[in-house]
Amino acid sequence: MRNRRRLWIALLSCTWLLSGCSGGDDGGYGKLMAEADQAMESLDVDTAIAQYRKIAEMDPNQLQYGEGRIAIVNELLEDAEDLKGKLDELKSRSETVKQNVGSLDMEKAEAEEIAQVNGELNDILSSLEEFSSTGLYGELEKLRSQLAEDVKTRKIDPLLKEIEADIGKLEFDKAESNAAVLYALGNGFSELVGSAADEYSAKIETEKAKYIELPATYNQRNIVLLQNAAGKITFLGEGIKDDELALFYKYEGDLRFAAKELPPKIQAVFNDGNAETSDEITLRHLPDHAIGYQVISDDPNKALIRLDYRFGLQQDEAYKKVDIGPAGETQTLKEITALPDKELQTSLKITSGKMNVEISGVSVQQNIVAIQGKLTASEDMNLETDASLYVPANDLSKQDYMDEDLFAGVAKEFKAVFDLGGRRISNDTTYLKFGIAGIQVNIDLASGEEHKPGKELLIHQLILPSEDAVVFERFNPWDKQFLADASGQVFADGISFEGQNSWAEAPSFTVSLNQRYKRLTAKVGVDKTTVGSDFGSSAVKIMGDGQVLKTFAFGSSAPAAVDLDVSIEGIHTLQFIMTQTPGPSHDVQRIIIGDGTLTQ
């Protein structure tokens, strides 16, 4: 509107000016008007206003069309004064913005503060677009370019590197926070941020989905609390887990398999003189160790100075104390990645005596494992048993009860579904152990075919106890001890069994081999807690597919464990059977099969 009005005035002015010129001297009107017009074109508004005022003070009677010319000048003067007010406001705002840009500490400034300053700068430049030839516009354009360069090199680029590092350290909460900052910067610098914020948000979600559990940060302590032949328990330090203060422990060696039976009973003493107690622990089994964390306070800022602890191995075990020294570098406790969802089509066939098992499909979906196929029995039967799943890498066992009527020679479809209870299988798991109807098979998670390890612990094989047998693996939960023989030798990879009662005829347990192995070596002995005349005597018979492979007899004294070394080539099923002779109080011996190893 102003430009159209200015054009009209200029044309009118020129017409009158020409008329005046034709009548003689205009008293300097023409010269002043030309100077004012030139000043307006260069936005030297103060000069233009001064010239317009000189013209407005002329005697209209000395000018041809004098009144008309003075009216024109007054309107031009009004326009110039309006423009001066607008430019003065823009100059004032420009100075403020220049100061705000200059005072930005790019490393410390919040994204919202940077966006606000950038928005103010863009607003001023937008208002100055009709004066784009002016020095002020050029100065602000240069300032905007410099601000964009600073934001890129000192804010966005470091932020991208930090997000990448956060993801690498599994610090997803920090990565998400930094991605939010990136989004905020993208509102004002979309050409610099581009699609990076969206891409990193997607990457964070993808990486988070791989992990069994979000990691935790902790102050590094590495204090060994317990160490023996079975392994070691280390206090890693105290840290933050789900916005709560927790203590973190590492179980190494065979101790990790009994970690759930060995929760630390602690009293955590803080620097304010208060203390918290706990005997609960949450465990995460990894391939070669277990991590346990124990929440002790909903206040993550408490400072720990002492730890009183015991592991409950004995009822009368005394508490030990450890002073907590200065914390080391804060660490991120990384959890193992989870196995991606997968569907495997396979054609595994396993035969053992009265049953044929065909596996056609394996599904792993988050924390659910489903295995389906067909069962074919050699005779009519009602199959009432647990199908079992064992994950060696995570020491994770689950069952699914089966109740099927089977008819001789007729294949029947089955589907066993195992809910892992919120847990996920780790990504380094190479195979699963699946057992059904007395048959076990190792399913390779890469190919879907049978996995055949060259060496395997007997304890990792499927153990099917008879109804009148009590079987313990590695750890005796009644006595809170690892299995040990009469001489005190500990078998962290041991299996113990006994009858449910003194009159049990032949307590036993069965191991499925599927003709996979050639030799079994182990130690066979009497549990140290059942040594003496009060527990009588016993005999142990090892049988392969119904044939006796080896027998042992143990008296009521404290017999040493004996070596078992037997060929099992071509054997489907291995069975350990005990014959019990109770003592005078009807107590019976408990037999240990220790450090059993199967080799091909």
Query: The domain spanning residue 520 has which CATH number?
Result: 2.60.120.1060
552 confidence band (pLDDT: 50, 70, 90):
very high
The verdict on 580 and 472 lying in the same domain is yes
Average pLDDT over residues 306-328: 87
The verdict on 205 and 221 lying in the same domain is no
Residue 356's domain is classified under what CATH number? 2.60.40
Q: Residues 390, 461: contact at Cβ < 8 Å? A: no
Average pLDDT over residues 412-422: 92
* pLDDT for the residue numbered 428: 83
Number of domains in the chain: 5
The verdict on 441 and 558 lying in the same domain is no
Token couple for 498: 């006994």
The verdict on 311 and 228 lying in the same domain is yes
Which of 210, 237, 254 is the last residue before a domain boundary?
Answer: 210
Give a yes or no: residue 105 inside a domain. no
Give a yes or no: residue 183 inside a domain. yes
* pLDDT for the residue numbered 315: 66
Mean of pLDDT over the chain: 85
2 confidence band (pLDDT: 50, 70, 90):
very low
For residue 162, the enclosing domain spans 111-210
Give a yes or no: residue 458 inside a domain. no
* pLDDT for the residue numbered 8: 32
Coil, helix or strand at residue 305: strand
Which of 333, 353, 388 is the last residue before a domain boundary?
Answer: 333
Residue % of the chain over a pLDDT of 70:
93
Strands 431-436 and 342-352: unpaired
Contacts of residue 368, defined as CB under 8 A and 6 or more positions apart, other chains included, come to 417, 418, 419, 420
Query: Beta strands of 189-230 (E only): which ranges?
Result: 216-219, 223-228
* pLDDT for the residue numbered 302: 94
* pLDDT for the residue numbered 127: 77
* pLDDT for the residue numbered 387: 92
Which of 308, 333, 358 is the last residue before a domain boundary?
Answer: 333
* pLDDT for the residue numbered 578: 93
Give a yes or no: residue 456 inside a domain. no
* pLDDT tens-digit series, residues 242-269: 889 999 999 998 888 888 888 899 999 9
The verdict on 513 and 528 lying in the same domain is yes
DSSP 119-173: HHHHHHHHHTGGGTTSHHHHHHHHHHHHHHHHHIIIIIHHHHHHHHHHHHTT-HH
The verdict on 169 and 245 lying in the same domain is no
* pLDDT tens-digit series, residues 454-481: 888 898 877 777 778 899 888 888 877 8
Asked if the model's pLDDT at residue 401 lies above 50, the reply is yes
Give a yes or no: residue 179 inside a domain. yes
* pLDDT tens-digit series, residues 202-226: 999 888 877 777 778 899 999 999 9
The verdict on 438 and 311 lying in the same domain is no
* pLDDT for the residue numbered 26: 64
Q: Residues 389, 358: contact at Cβ < 8 Å? A: no
User: Looking at the DSSP assignment, which residues form a beta bridge with residue 578?
Assistant: 540
The verdict on 133 and 71 lying in the same domain is no
The pTM assigned to this predicted structure is 0.63
304 confidence band (pLDDT: 50, 70, 90):
very high
Asked if the model's pLDDT at residue 21 lies above 90, the reply is no
* pLDDT tens-digit series, residues 38-68: 877 767 788 888 888 888 888 777 776 667 7
The verdict on 318 and 374 lying in the same domain is no
* pLDDT for the residue numbered 86: 77
